[in-house]
Structure 1
Amino acid sequence: MLSYLELVELANGDIVLQRSEGDENPLVTIKFSKETREHIVGSVLDVARAMVQAGIEAAATSAEDDGFIDDEDLDDEDDQGPDAKTVH
């Protein structure tokens, strides 16, 4: 079964990355201080999305550097086949 991920801003201001099925245990929690929120232009969700994307890319690069992923195993960004996963 394909699992989708979503970013959600909670009532307390925390932003969590969770499975869209509503699992109560978030995969990642991002907390911005009040001071930081005052300096963010636009939505904190946009910043959180960029942070998560950067983390995913860093993990993929690290796995590739450690020999866990072959260059041939990396999908083209335009590939939207049946196994493609989306973070939104």
Structure 2
Amino acid sequence: MSASLLEIVDLGDGEIVLQHADDDSEPLVTIRFSDESRMYMMENSLEVAKAMIQAGIQAVAVLAEQGEAEAEASPESPRILH
């Protein structure tokens, strides 16, 4: 994935998206909050979405590190995904 500027946009209908700032492509991530959850969060749904996106990015980084470590530990064994 090429480096580009990303933005988090609150669409105002309970949906918050992470998208490329410089084009009109499909959002990378969509978070949709129900009316009930938006009432519970009051005006903080954007902050919650930011935290969710950050946690997802951190999880991907950890998984990537684990995958690299496994690849270094056994470079000759094939990886099989069922």
Indicate the structure (1 or 2) with the bigger Cα radius of gyration. Answer: 2
1:38, distance to aligned residue in structure 2 (A):
1.1
1:2, distance to aligned residue in structure 2 (A):
4.2
Gaps of 5+ in 2: 70-82
1:15 corresponds to which residue?
16
Identity %: 49
Relative distance call for 1:22 and 1:43 in structure 2 (3 A) is farther
1:39, distance to aligned residue in structure 2 (A):
1.0
Kindly indicate whether structure 1 or structure 2 has the higher relative contact order, using CA contacts under 8 Å at least 6 residues apart.
1
Which AA in structure 1 matches 2:39? E
1:60 corresponds to which residue?
61
Which AA in structure 2 matches 1:22? D
Structure 1 runs (4+) deviating above 3 angstroms are none
Q: Distance in 1 between matches of 2:37 and 2:12?
A: 18
1:31 corresponds to which residue?
32
SS in 1 for 2:7: strand
Relative distance call for 1:41 and 1:54 in structure 2 (3 A) is same
Gaps of 5+ in 1: 69-88
TM-score (norm 1): 0.68
RMSD value, Cα:
1.8
SS in 1 for 2:14: coil
Q: Distance in 2 between matches of 1:67 and 1:24?
A: 30
> Between Structure 1 and Structure 2, which shows a larger proportion of helix residues?
2
SS in 1 for 2:26: coil
